Chains A and B, each alone.
Chain A
């Protein structure tokens, strides 16, 4: 990592030429429709339960965090998890493996970002066709030329027990021609305690991130940006193994972006983005490297922002090539390798297990090295419809080629041809998605605005859903992929309604998603009803299955504001979320977020800000077969902030308490809810200097 950082730094340390004063024409970028949530990261951080992306978004309506200890929290939006949510870092897909398994952290540091957007409906189809939409993390790299001169932030905080400290700094300088950005972040947290005072072993984590970028505007119509982001996370897995299970993750990204503002009126901008990402994480138990996951990805994208007649929109063409490799070999996963071949028949041990158990158990590398090539073409556009409405359309098509290569798998564990002659054949498939939206604009004449979108989406099964066959150490589970999964199809109806008066605001959201061939992991049981165990590690066995499914849910939020001109301002809010998820046969889907009810107060006076909130999470009672219930709990948080302002600079001093009453709480969405309950009371203090 150090070598790559230095290399990047050298590349970026180009001679700083004196800049000719040029004026760049404003570039019009289609803004996300208002139904999409766009939040300042600093504000999200005030309510965030932890430093994960899921922790930052957890308080948004119908958003939950699929945690796996304090280090892992992937957002679950309207019941959609894993591959049904695309996570972007600026405009590029985060090439991590967080959707593959619950223990894999999202390879981003949300704290270092500027804003986090939730895109759904037609707008999200520009990047991906996912039922849960797109989470877009935007930082300075998205627009380093935003303002001339120096700007930046230094923020740090401390927590006493369990101890943690975080520090992030970012510094950007730009003029009309050049822009430079440096950013660094370190986060360290010791193992936490639950509300019962139990120390949760292996719940510690540390994160480090460095960002470097250089931007150049050679003329008034063009802009270049070269950047790199290097992230390392090291965290424990608080499972129940006797020896510590840990994951060390590294992500290195390099990006070159070119934006051009052409002369034609109808074409606002052309953006070309070339991106390289190298992701690697190892999984150790007792210090032995038992697992290794790596993915290298090259992406290129061409994006056009355009307007014609009453329509305005964006068109995006992208191509990516990624190579995914996985190792499972006790103490020997220092690197990836090809397995030798001695000439014996392939897969004879698999055949044995088929004969003795009826299942193709394997103790080898759990999946073939797989190359994925993906081409995507998408278009989003909207236009006014009369004076009060806007209509929007999103189209997304993708074509994918998968090339599995079983040469990494030990000969006795290669899936034998006798069982499936086309198991490792190249797959070529496509998916088509469309989304329509209708929005009533918020107008001064009426307090009512609403948005309705209907999407028909197709999702191709992921590589691991198809090919995985083996043990996963960190989750202590044996998982069978299903090589002949069908494309998952969904019909998604989203409705959002807002009613705003100066002192009252109502927000209602509802959604209904109907899936055909919904892909999920289903635990295996014997005929007698006992959990199925794998023959090597006696771990629970999960099958990747498909079933029709439906999700229905919604949220309501009410805000009551004080007089806007008052010296003391306050806002009282109430919020409730509910979700119901079931298969077509009526069986509930596992780890469905229980309903919750929240209330809070926000008070501002002069340079002081204080917030208090109470969240009641109801008992999880709608359970999948053999799933255990999760008790209800109350979560109280307080936040106090004082701002010292001097010119353009602001120093915020803050104090925060989470789980003030130290209650014992479990996250029903977490596979580790029993061994890694939510933290007990945590009190932290920090300072944030913005300039």
Chain B
């Protein structure tokens, strides 16, 4: 073998080796504000650290984590400026409000949440004295109204109508809570009861009254207990009936403060549950059969180091379908 052959071969081998090794590591490093946890898309999460007032928003579609306090500080929009948390003593719990209102003869659902003051007790009637701000989307931007905008509503005003709808929701939640609590097995203490508001509205739209009553039984009633179990009920004529085995959430043995848990819709297929004790968001869903804990995400993977989440609000309808196990 002559020298030129050797050089040719060595070059070929070296270049191939370099090519292979260079291609071996295909990982990418996301930019600091893009965090892909694999959460269901089309949702917005608002997260608050109650001890510091740190306040973050996370869009599960754009995967962008935003410091809402910074955004409020830099914004010229008063609605965005109102997001700012300046006083940690005003942080109590989130109250999710699926606001169903009529506009031009059609029902609309606008998911909102209220940051309640610490003295508010779940189930109590809401007025401007028990919350600090109401948050929802103004177009594409998350924005807030401060409680003082809702003080002393005039008779017949939109604010008064809003309070009526809000307190109707609170009353419905109280009724749901009592109904579900009664159905739970002995020894289980209900933390939070939940019915998907989007599914409920869809049922109300699609069926006439008689049929809606009949179909109402299909709406799944979710029950999170303080031991970290999730129970599932259908509403039958004689009351709630357990639909399947309970699901045990990972690493949850007891929940200290149920008012700071969150249960929200993730998609047509399931729900997201936030448990502050474990700093984890759980996805409980089903793919045509039993609900199960499908995934769990550690909050620490989302928020900056040293920041914890005491409250998490979840807005949005989520994915129309979870394709994870859908078959062609």
Contact = CB atoms under 8 A, between A and B. Distances in A.
A410 B23 contact: no
Nearest to A239: B327
Interface string A1-37: 1100110000000000000000000000000000000
Contacts of B288: 538
A536 B20 contact: no
A537 B286 CA distance: 8
B17 A533 contact: no
B290 interface: yes
B326 interface: yes
A125 B50 CA distance: 67
A533 B296 CA distance: 24
Interface string A335-365: 0000111111000110011011000000100
A412 B327 contact: no
A2 B25 CA distance: 7
Given A331-B295, A352-B246, A536 B17 contact: no
Interface string B285-328: 01111101111110000000000000000000000000111111
Given A171-B9, A331-B295, A208 B325 contact: no
B227 A344 contact: yes
A82 interface: no
Interface in A222-268: 230, 232, 240-243
B16 A242 contact: no
A286 B323 contact: yes
Nearest to A182: B13
Interface string B1-30: 100011001101100110111111100000
A356 B289 CA distance: 14
A356 B293 CA distance: 18
Nearest to B246: A352
Contacts of B290: 535-536
A154 B9 CA distance: 8
Contact of B253 (A167, A343, A352, A353): A343
B24 A538 contact: no
B248 A349 contact: yes
A171 B13 contact: yes
Nearest to B254: A342
B17 A184 contact: yes
B291 to A, nearest CB: 9
A303 B198 CA distance: 70
A242 B250 contact: no
B251 interface: yes
A329 interface: yes
B245 interface: yes
A288 interface: yes
A597 to B, nearest CB: 36
A329 B19 contact: no
B295 A329 contact: yes
B239 interface: no
B316 to A, nearest CB: 19
B12 A154 contact: yes
Interface in A637-691: 648-649, 691
Contact of A348 (B248, B283, B292, B293): B248
B289 A536 contact: yes
Interface in A378-424: 410-412
Given A210-B17, A411-B250, A535-B290, A331 B38 contact: yes
B159 interface: no
B247 interface: yes
B323 to A, nearest CB: 5
Nearest to A149: B1
Interface in A412-462: 412
B228 interface: yes
A640 B34 CA distance: 54
B25 A169 contact: no
A175 B187 CA distance: 80
B252 interface: yes
Contacts of A150: 1, 6
Contact of A167 (B16, B38, B324, B325): B16
A592 interface: no
Contacts of B247: 349
A242 B323 contact: yes
B251 A339 contact: yes
B287 A330 contact: no
Contacts of B287: 536-538
A285 interface: yes
A209 interface: yes
B22 to A, nearest CB: 7
A43 B272 CA distance: 58
A199 B324 CA distance: 23
Interface string A308-344: 0000000000000000000001111000000111111
Interface in A267-293: 285-286, 288
A2 B250 contact: no
Contact of A208 (B20, B228, B324): B20
A482 interface: no
Given A285-B324, A538-B288, A184 B6 contact: no
A659 B36 CA distance: 44
Nearest to B14: A182
Interface string B275-290: 0001000010011111
Contacts of B296: 329, 332
Interface string B232-245: 00000000000011
Contacts of B283: 330
A210 B324 contact: no
Contacts of A355: 245
A219 interface: no
Contacts of A90: none
A169 B289 contact: no
Contact of B251 (A232, A332, A411): A411
A152 interface: yes
A332 B38 contact: yes
Contacts of B22: 2
A649 B9 CA distance: 13
5 contacts: A5-B17, A186-B19, A241-B328, A363-B293, A411-B250
9 residue pairs, one from A and one from B, having the closest CB atoms: A331-B38, A342-B253, A535-B290, A412-B248, A1-B24, A184-B16, A352-B245, A340-B251, A208-B20
Interface of A: 1-2, 5-6, 149-150, 152, 154, 167, 169, 171, 182, 184, 186, 208-210, 230, 232, 240-243, 285-286, 288, 329-332, 339-344, 348-349, 352-353, 355-356, 363, 410-412, 533-538, 648-649, 691
Given A288-B38, A330-B324, A342-B253, 16 more contacts: A2-B22, A2-B24, A154-B9, A169-B9, A182-B17, A184-B16, A208-B24, A210-B21, A241-B327, A241-B328, A242-B326, A243-B323, A340-B250, A341-B251, A353-B245, A537-B287
